[in-house]
Structure 1
Amino acid sequence: MSTPFLRSTIQSSLLRRSIFKPSTLQQNIRQFHYSSPKMTVHNISTTQEWKDALKNNKIVMLDCFATWCGPCKAIAPMLVNHSNDEQFKDIFFAKIDVDELPEVSQELGIRAMPTFMLFKDGEKAEELVGANPQALVGLLKKGAEA
């Protein structure tokens, strides 16, 4: 003779097994790759690296960020995705931490984060202040046209 508690426990156990079958779970698990994406945003850590990046690349997109900046963290993955986009393959993507390279950020006149700057032939051509995804794409398209 089973009690109502025992009956409900057995029924819920059977229900759980029918819902969470291993075959159902296997279909919903995301498959991961062992190869890493291109990840072509270069972290600039010295003033000389920045000068070399400007000198060695025709078009440079610079992301000026700070580790404590929330909008910088929010838009960073979007910039990485754009750096792997085929239409922006001729753009050199770089980023500097304004707290680690204060001399470069001062020279560039950074006043807010994030600031995106597009350089053509070593000269600043365009600037975008703030985390605006649509404006960032527009800036990148201007760079790709050059």
Structure 2
Amino acid sequence: MAVQKVTDAEFTEQLANHPKVVVKYYADWCGSCRLFAPKFNRLSSDSRFTDITFLDVNAETSPVARKTAGVTNLPYFAVFQNGQLVEAVATSKEDALVELINKLN
């Protein structure tokens, strides 16, 4: 499934409508965030994660979504199951994100 860009207005609805969600928090000025984007897009199409919804959230323009995950640094990733935060991590390493995503399975 393709990565969906969402705002605060759509964030809560996405969590309510999808049992497994992984969120990438980014900012337009964040170079590491831009470098990680292709990896995140590739993971969203990975056959291991077909039942997981992938979201992109601009941390600067979505304060509610940012606060929900306790974003401390960028890029920041959070996994939600049934609308509840499971775990989150600030990382630029793909293997750390895969390990985080696997907590949903």
The two structures share one fold, judged by TM-score above 0.5: yes
- Taking only aligned residues, the RMSD between alpha carbons, in angstroms, comes to 1.3
CA distance in structure 1 between the partners assigned to 2:64 and 2:21 by the alignment: 19
Contact 2:24 2:55 in 1 (8 A): yes
- CA deviation after TM superposition for structure 1 residue 108, in Å: 2.9
Residue 67 (str. 1) matches residue 28 (str. 2): yes
Task: Pick which of 121-130 and 134-143 moved more.
Answer: 134-143
State the partner residue of 2:12: 51
Matches within 5 A, 1:8-87: 40-45=2-7, 47-87=8-48
- CA deviation after TM superposition for structure 1 residue 57, in Å: 0.4
Unaligned runs of 5+ in 2: none
CA distance in structure 2 between the partners assigned to 1:107 and 1:134 by the alignment: 24
CA distance in structure 2 between the partners assigned to 1:43 and 1:87 by the alignment: 21
Residue 124 (str. 1) matches residue 85 (str. 2): yes
State the partner residue of 1:11: none
CA distance in structure 1 between the partners assigned to 2:65 and 2:102 by the alignment: 25
Task: Provide the identity percentage.
Answer: 29
Higher RCO structure (Cα 8 Å, ≥6 apart): 2
CA distance in structure 2 between the partners assigned to 1:67 and 1:59 by the alignment: 26
Q: For each residue in 1:80-137, what CA deviation from the matched residue of structure 2 results, as whole angstroms up to 9, or x when unmatched?
A: 0010111100000001101111233134321110110000111000111121111111
Structure having the larger proportion of residues in strand:
2
**SS, match of residue 61 in structure 1:** strand
CA distance in structure 2 between the partners assigned to 1:135 and 1:90 by the alignment: 19
Among 118, 125, 135, the residue aligned to 2:96: 135
CA distance in structure 1 between the partners assigned to 2:64 and 2:101 by the alignment: 25
Unaligned runs of 5+ in 1: 1-37
Task: Give the TM-score, by structure 1 length.
Answer: 0.67
Structure having the larger proportion of residues in helix:
1
Question: Number of aligned pairs?
Answer: 105
